[in-house]
Amino acid sequence: MPNLIRSELHALGLRKDRATFSHSVRVGLLAQAAARLLGMPEDEERMFTAACSFHDIGKVLVPRELLVKRLPLDEAERELIRRHPLFGVRVVRRLGWRDPRMIATVRSHHERWDGTGYPDGLRGEGIPQWARLCAVFDSFDAMVQARAYNRVKTTAEAADELRRQSGLQFDPASVELFLSIPEIAIEKIRRYR
């Protein structure tokens, strides 16, 4: 992953939340591995990696205490966190990123294949392709890392969950692409702190 992306993530304030920073880097590394499997041209690989790395950048505008809260969130707190994709679009635009695929990935990475996601309730192929892929990388990493709200899953358990949610939460083709990334690469990325 280009150092410029890591530097930009750091400069934007994700350094004060090391978990979100590390998560963003790991999601970007998974995107880079997938881009290479897809044979993306170098410039497209860079943009896809950046888009996935910046997927949670809107969290810089969410109070940190909500991001690490262990108790259940109330409705207002949940709604504020659910706005981070919209906040993220504002941040990446302010940074000068104009590629529509970047904007769409940041905005739509929490959309679900079955249409029950947010912020727009998009469904199926109406969800931008890069966002569909990013959603799989994002969810996988959330499952295999320690979080205040879940038990850490093994790589195999997380892969099984992706398979179970294929066609519901996730685009089946995106799940299959993720599952084709060599396990050794996934394990190396998983260990990034």
Instruction: Give catalytic residue positions.
Output: 59
Output the CA–CA distances (angstroms, integers) from residue 100 to 24, 31, 38, in the order listed: 20, 17, 20
Pairwise CA distance, residues 170 & 138, whole Å: 11
Whole-angstrom distance, CA of residue 94 vs CA of residue 51: 15
Cα gap 21→145, rounded to integer Å? 13
Q: Side chain identity at 136, as an amino acid letter? A: V
CB of 137 closer than 8 Å to CB of 131: no
- Cβ partners under 8 Å of residue 151, min gap 6: none
Residue 185: count of CB within 10 angstroms of its CB: 16
Task: Tell me how far the alpha carbon of residue 113 is from its chain's centroid.
Answer: 15
Q: Say which residue the tokens 């996730």 belong to.
A: 170
